[in-house]
Amino acid sequence: MSTVVKTKIKKDDTVQIIAGKDKGKSGKVLRIDRKNGRLVVQGLNMVKKTVRPKNQQDKGGIIDIEAAIDTSNVMIICKKCGPTRIGYKLDGDKKKRICKKCGETF
């Protein structure tokens, strides 16, 4: 049985990395892999990847590419108060994501 990891973070959120080599850096979420609880942040957690030549003119080579980060290693950034946790607030019958510290909506 597969479980989907619950994360409140969405694509295009700005997050800060709280563990690992890019700790303290922030960037925009490009993709989320909800099945594995991982996400890719633009320009962060870069790894070298070897690319095979596509044709005889192309030599291939090594490129830098973003590697996925565990969602537990990032925090969303509130534009008012910085890295924070996401809470929810009901607005009519809609559930809104809010900053747990200051109540700012995301």
Site string for Zn ion, 86-105 (x = CB under 5 A): -------------x-xx-x-
Q: Which residue has the tokens 């700790």?
A: 23
CB of 2 to Zn ion, least distance (A): 34
Cβ distance to Zn ion smaller for residue 28 or 37: 28
DSSP string, 30-93: EEEETTTTEEEETT-SEEEEEE--SSSS---EEEEEEPPEEGGGEEEEETTTEEE-EEEEEETT
* Residues 63-82 interacting with Zn ion (rule: CB under 5 A): 78, 80-81
CB of 63 to Zn ion, least distance (A): 36
CB of 16 to Zn ion, least distance (A): 13
Query: 85: which residues sit within 8 A by CB, 6+ positions away?
Result: 75, 76, 99, 100, 101
Cβ distance to Zn ion smaller for residue 16 or 45: 16
Binding site residues, Zn ion, CB under 5 A: 78, 80-81, 99, 101-102, 104
